Amino acid sequence: MPLSFLNGESFTTSATTYQHRPATVYETHPRLILRVDIEGIVTHAMVDTGGVYLFCHPTIARAIGFDASAGLGLQTLIFRQERVQGTLHRATLTLLADEGDHLLIETTAFVPEASYEGLSDMPSILGWHGCLDRFRFGIDPMTDTFYFGAPT
């Protein structure tokens, strides 16, 4: 199950299946969707290697209790050709394993302002910078398996 380098060192130690489907009912292109835990809330998140941060869906952010006044600072992102303002927060993301151990990651979460409605039914998003770049991962599209592990 774990992926290894040629010298035998582990590249990943855990695996989970992922969904390969459109992220919303309005999309036609399938995305890689994982089941994750964000600060104790189990939800789905879309993998976006071109994105930044953990783009936390406002519904999840409210349930966690993220407060803009307690954030790390204001940030403006370009998301789907639109300028989106929000705050940055520190968050614990847990990758949930079907095989191996769950992996806890300290990540930077972007929480859009409460007035932002551009996500509708879209899940949270695992962006590259500040999130996906914190651990090793590999994907097997033949078995819909997402392999992951802590960096060494």
Task: Name the nearest CA neighbour of 87 among 99, 71, 98.
Answer: 71
How much is the pLDDT for 114? 66
**Structure tokens given for 71:** 């954030």
Q: Tell me how many domains the chain contains.
A: 1
Considering the domain boundaries, does residue 6 fall inside one? no
Task: Name the nearest CA neighbour of 83 among 123, 49, 113, 128.
Answer: 113
Whole-number Å distance between alpha carbons of 67 and 87: 9
Task: Give the CATH number of the domain where residue 38 resides.
Answer: 2.40.70.10
Tell the residue number behind the tokens 């592990």, with chain if given: 149
How much is the pLDDT for 119? 63
DSSP state of 60: H
The pLDDT tens digits for 83-105 are: 778 889 999 999 999 999 999 99
> What is the domain range of residue 62?
17-146
Q: Is the pLDDT of residue 116 over 70?
A: no
Considering the domain boundaries, does residue 9 fall inside one? no
The pTM is what? 0.88
